[in-house]
A and B are shown apart, each in its own frame.
Chain A
């Protein structure tokens, strides 16, 4: 091993240094800014989490798995997983091995930023030793891995369908520059290292290439220009990085510790939200996931475009996109980075100023208090269930059969649970409703609150504080009655496909209970897209601006998915899904309670 230059410097490293310096400065400034934007309490929590060994380890593990290996993506789509992890992990290994080489062979150069990157240019005959040969072999191996990844990426640009993606985003101008410079970096590195391989040494990839090149070019004339080109490609990539979607690389590394510290979106644009927006890699998985994209409509209203518009500060489009969304949460479920599409939108809605403030002073609390009193078990049906009497009636019949004394607190109409108000971005108004309902429930003396509407269930579990009251979804409650032997079910031979309501499934993580209960009363079939990937019925209260006509295509699309299970009928556990599906379905749509009631003896 010999060093080629006593100075350890060549002008071609300057572009790289500029790029690197810029991107590091930008990220350092960014991190400080985000930290500054966090509330005092959040900041303390975050910094504390960084020095807590458990969370610190989890951070490193998560960054390794998600940012480098793309484990989540692997699970979903192996080809895409391989493509991304080969580039990310391969590049990481190149940088790591570069540092290892520098430390091993020229430890006095380790303080030079560029040395590990351009190691092959500055040294000679490194592969003479076994250690050197092994490292060079690894370097060539990871370079090959990246090149395969880049090749796949180029193919994906042209033929995204081969990768299981129907639609992808259209990159902006700067994104394109970032993309092309990223694609250029590694082939240029291969060329540069190949041209230098007869001096520095190389391995299975670079030495044969060097041999071929020498047959044609025969001299070292092309060596330096290649290193220059490589350095310039790096410079271009790093200089445009903050303004392109590739910002997700550093941002995600920030997002993971912030999330692990338990932080949530508190401001629509600053702090945690800002990191989430920057973490969006623009892959476009959310375009295919978005139920609004049925019939090729609303293609520019999914989360990836929200993130893009927030970065651009296009207020009109941000408002449009945030208001339209159904908040079904499928984009979040499928997002590899974990961008919270719905929460981000609700935060945008919260920015709105209203001249008319809600005022519930006139509510006749005495009447409602009386309606809620009388038993240990309370049933809160919610507003929507008033419009789907089949649900309430079936639940009543089941409680009667099981001999449970209970009170239907909003039988004659009650207060809204607050979730519709909350998702519309009016947190204070929602809180007023929450406070009033809390008062009603606590003053009733009940110890169990049963809910059948997932919209209510979600806010009751997330935002209500009801000490001493067990808040339970009716699927779990009825299962309990079955286990106690108070309800006896006979399995019918009707085959149902269970539709997971967004608020219940993705919203509350309840997938197994309704299926377990349904399985005792009827046969179950599964739709192709089910559980976390279930398609919103289109009736969601989450959307503010989507009008009735625009929702039809969404409903029909969701129904097609359910029909594909070849079930006789559709089962769901949400009054809104029930009413929405019944409108267009070509087979019966029934609520879980109805089915259980029919099967109970």
Chain B
């Protein structure tokens, strides 16, 4: 099992002054609802791909805002739509994933 969870060590500390959030802003152009995520974790809990890949839209959105790489997680998505169903904020996660798969740089 791959693990994409965060580890906190001094070397991996995120400096918000230097974060590269270009991808995040590019995503917001087409999917402005990405901004309303409250990190409740519903999407990750129901994700069938999370079992073996650590896939989590919540983490993807957070990672984008902190300038971290997201591509490895995205490649596990099966686009089944469960995350869209459970999101309490009504975020269209499938659209968001497809948009990200398009605009991401190759891992």
Q: How far is the CB of A524 from chain B (nearest CB, A)?
A: 28
CB-defined contacts of B100 to chain A, threshold 8 Å: 356
Whether the Cβ atoms of A548 and B92 lie closer than 8 Å is yes
* A383-428 interface (Cβ within 8 A of B): 383-384, 386-387, 413-416, 418, 420-421, 424, 426
A113 at the A/B interface (Cβ < 8 Å)? no
User: Which of A470-478, A529-537, A539-547 sits within the interface?
Assistant: A539-547
Q: Mark A351-371, 1 if CB is under 8 A from B, else 0.
A: 011111111101110000000
B79 sits at the interface (CB 8 A): yes
- A384 close to B85 (CB less than 8 A): yes
Bound Cα distance A356, B73 (Å): 10
Contact B1 A354 (CB under 8 A): no
CB <8 Å contact, A544 and B98: yes
Chain B positions within 8 Å of A6 at CB level: none
| Chain A CB within 8 A of B28 CB | no
A364: chain B residues within 8 A (beta carbon): 1, 51-52
State the CA gap A358–B49 with chains docked (Å).
Answer: 11
B35 within 8 A of A: no
Chain B residues, Cβ within 8 Å of A353: 102
Using Cβ atoms and an 8 Å threshold, which residues of chain A touch B90? 547-549
A544 to B101, alpha carbons, bound, how many Å?
Answer: 14
Q: Knowing A354-B102, A383-B48, A387-B46, say if A416 contacts B79 (CB, 8 Å).
A: yes
Which of B52, B101, B102 is in CB contact (< 8 Å) with A363?
B52
- Are A424 and B94 in contact, CB atoms less than 8 angstroms apart? yes
B4 to chain A, nearest CB (A): 11
**B104 in contact (CB, < 8 A):** yes
Interface residues of A in 446-496 (CB under 8 A from B): none
Q: Does A280 contact B (CB under 8 A)?
A: no
Question: Could you tell me the distance between the alpha carbons of A424 and B92 in the complex, rounded to whole angstroms?
Answer: 14
A249 contacts the other chain (CB 8 A): no
| B-side interface residues, number (CB < 8 Å) | 34
Q: How far apart sit A579 and B79, CA to CA, in the bound complex (Å)?
A: 18
CB of A355 within 8 A of CB of B80, answer no
Chain A proximity of B98: nearest CB distance (Å): 6
Which A residue's beta carbon lies closest to that of B75? A359
A347: interface (CB < 8 Å): no
Complex interface residues of chain B between 78 and 94 (CB less than 8 A to chain A): 78-82, 85-86, 90-92, 94
| Complex Cα–Cα for A384 and B86 (A) | 10
Q: Check: A433 CB closer than 8 A to any chain B CB.
A: yes
Residues of B within 8 A of A354 (CB): 98, 101-102
Set A362, A384, A421: member contacting B78, Cβ < 8 A:
A421
A362 touches B2 (CB 8 A): yes
Chain A residue contacts of B104, Cβ below 8 A: 355-356
CA distance in complex: A354, B102 (Å): 4
Q: With A363-B52, A364-B52, A548-B92 as given contacts, are A420 and B79 in contact (CB-CB < 8 Å)?
A: yes
**Residues of chain A with a CB closer than 8 A to B95's CB:** 323, 544-545, 547
Q: Closest approach, in angstroms, between the C-beta of B52 and any C-beta of chain A?
A: 5
Q: Is the CB of B80 within 8 A of A545?
A: no
The answer to whether residues A357 and B75 also contact, given A386-B82, A387-B82, A549-B90 and a CB cut-off of 8 A, is yes
- Report how far A358 CA is from B100 CA in the complex, Å: 13
Bound Cα distance from A549 to B89, whole angstroms: 10
Bound Cα distance A416, B77 (Å):
10
Residues of A within 8 A of B101 (CB): 354-356
- B14 contacts the other chain (Cβ, under 8 Å)? no
Q: Is B40 interfacial (CB-CB < 8 Å)?
A: no
Interface centre among A362, A541, A547, A576 (most CB of B within 10 A): A362
Checking B76, B80, B105, B106 against A359 with a beta-carbon cut-off of 8 angstroms, the contacting residue is B76
Residue B103 CB within 8 A of the other chain: yes
Q: For residue A384, which residues in chain B have a CB less than 8 angstroms away from its CB? A: 80-82, 85
Q: Is the CB of B102 within 8 A of A383?
A: no
CA distance A67 to B79 in the complex (A): 41
A309-368 contacts to B (CB < 8 Å): 323, 352-360, 362-364
Cα distance A357–B91 in the bound complex, in angstroms:
23
Report the separation of the CA atoms of residues A383 and B43 in the bound assembly, to the nearest whole angstrom.
Answer: 13
CA distance A421 to B107 in the complex (A): 21
Whether the pair A433, B74 counts as a contact (CB closer than 8 A) is: no
Known interface pairs A356-B100, A383-B48, A544-B94. Does A420 touch B81 (Cβ–Cβ under 8 Å)? yes
Question: CB of B21 within 8 A of chain A?
Answer: no
Which of B48, B53, B79 interacts with A414 by CB under 8 Å?
B48
A291 to B101, CA, bound (A): 29
Please, which residue of chain A has its CB at the minimum distance from the CB of B78?
A416
Q: Are A541 and B77 in contact (CB under 8 A)?
A: no
> Given the interface contacts A356-B101, A364-B51, A387-B46, does A547 sit within 8 Å of B78 by beta carbon?
no
Known interface pairs A354-B101, A356-B101, A544-B94. Does A424 touch B82 (Cβ–Cβ under 8 Å)? no
Taking the closest CB of chain B, its distance from the CB of A551, in whole angstroms, is 9
Contact partners of A352 in chain B: CB under 8 A? 98, 102
B77: nearest chain-A partner, CB-CB: A358
A362 touches B92 (CB 8 A): no
Residues of chain A in range 533-568 having any CB-CB distance to chain B below 8 Å: 541, 544-549
Top 4 nearest A-B pairs by Cβ distance? Answer: A548-B90, A416-B78, A416-B80, A383-B80
Chain A residues at the B interface, C-beta cutoff of 8 Å: 323, 352-360, 362-364, 383-384, 386-387, 413-416, 418, 420-421, 424, 426, 429, 433, 541, 544-549, 576, 579
Complex A-B: 25 CB contacts under 8 Å: A354-B102, A355-B101, A356-B74, A356-B104, A358-B76, A360-B76, A362-B76, A364-B51, A383-B80, A383-B82, A384-B80, A384-B81, A386-B82, A387-B46, A413-B51, A415-B48, A420-B79, A420-B80, A421-B79, A429-B79, A544-B95, A544-B98, A545-B92, A547-B90, A548-B91
